[in-house]
Structure 1
Amino acid sequence: MTTLSGGPTDDQITDDDLITSWGLFHEALSATMPILLRGIDPCGRDMSGPWFEVMIRLQRSPDNRLPMSQLAREVSLSSGGFTKLADRLERNGFLVRQSCPSDRRVTYAALTPEGLELAEQARAKHVALLREHVLGVLGSEGIHSLADHARKLRDNSREIA
């Protein structure tokens, strides 16, 4: 039995097919990520770690801020790891911590004007790299399919966790 697209059904996918597919996805991500982050810091600072993901998430959030615990979770960092990164971003003047007026247990990470400017500059370079190395390879249909599949995997993982 095959699917409408002519591909194998779920019960025809072998263990090796499954392992190979997941391995290729992992290899593709590992090989592509450094290319997509190449030169995105317009000031040439060595800000290692997931700083860019933090900056972009804040830049795309209302009021350019998110609860620190949510942000740490979204960028897959432990609480301690995120605190160290936030400290470094704060020392560089890109981020401030803000208390939540309605819940003292919540602390927000918020971009400073300098952080917003850096995030916007880095984002522009990153988008150019995405267009070249992802959209140029996958095409628009592939991009939509990739987003759909990634969303399904993410949402399923959240339901299990």
Structure 2
Amino acid sequence: MRAPTDDELITAWGLLHEALRDTEPLLLRGIDPCGKDMSGPWFEVLIRLQRSPEHRLPMSRLAREVSLSSGGFTKLADRLEHRGYLRREHCPEDRRVTYAALTDDGIALAEQARAKHVALLREHVLAPLGDDGLRAFADAARLLRDEARASADAERGAAAR
């Protein structure tokens, strides 16, 4: 089997971007916290917290995981807190750490949104890919993510020396 050409590589990467861009809005349809469709970051924060122990994570980690700047995440956390879905908790062992934690209303909203999201994932991701395709996609995505993180860590380590 021959190696992919440069054009095939560029096309494959472009298709991945297009697939994610075009599929993401379909996966957020009908997931609405306040009568309008939820933006990706709101949903991502709720789901990550819902799936975390004690429904909380350090705010800095959560901001990084949802790809927001610290200022952008602070604004989002303020809105979630104002609507009663999130509260901030200070870490007793390290005053530099503040946790974002779901309230009972936040947990209920996250569970409702998750159920709808899973139905949409089944329709728009699992149905076209099939079981084996989904597993292969997840394996490939995990590999790319882990390699990118390892490269970034190595670059940070080299810069620190």
| 1:35-56 CA distance string (max 9 Å, x none) | 0000112652454351000000
Q: 1:98 aligns with which of 86, 89, 100?
A: 89
Q: 1:15 aligns with which of 6, 19, 40?
A: 6
Q: TM-score under structure 2 normalisation?
A: 0.91
Structure 1: runs of 5 or more not aligned? 3-7
Distance 2:37 2:138 in 1: 30
Q: 2:26 aligns with which of 35, 44, 47?
A: 35
Structure 2: runs of 5 or more not aligned? 153-161
SS, match of residue 141 in structure 2: helix
Identity %: 73
**Structure with higher helix content:** 2
State the one-letter code of the partner of 2:124.
Answer: H
- Contact 2:28–2:117 under 8 Å retained in 1: yes
1:119 corresponds in structure 2 to 110
Superposition CA RMSD, Å? 1.1
Distance 2:13 2:130 in 1: 21
- Contact 1:42–1:121 under 8 Å retained in 2: no
Question: Displacement of 1:160 after TM fit?
Answer: 1.2
Distance 1:42 1:53 in 2: 13
Q: TM-score under structure 1 normalisation?
A: 0.91
1:48-63 to 2 correspondences below 5 Å: 48-63=39-54
Q: 1:154 aligns with which of 123, 145, 149?
A: 145
Q: 1:24 aligns with which of 15, 31, 34?
A: 15
- Contact 1:41–1:118 under 8 Å retained in 2: no
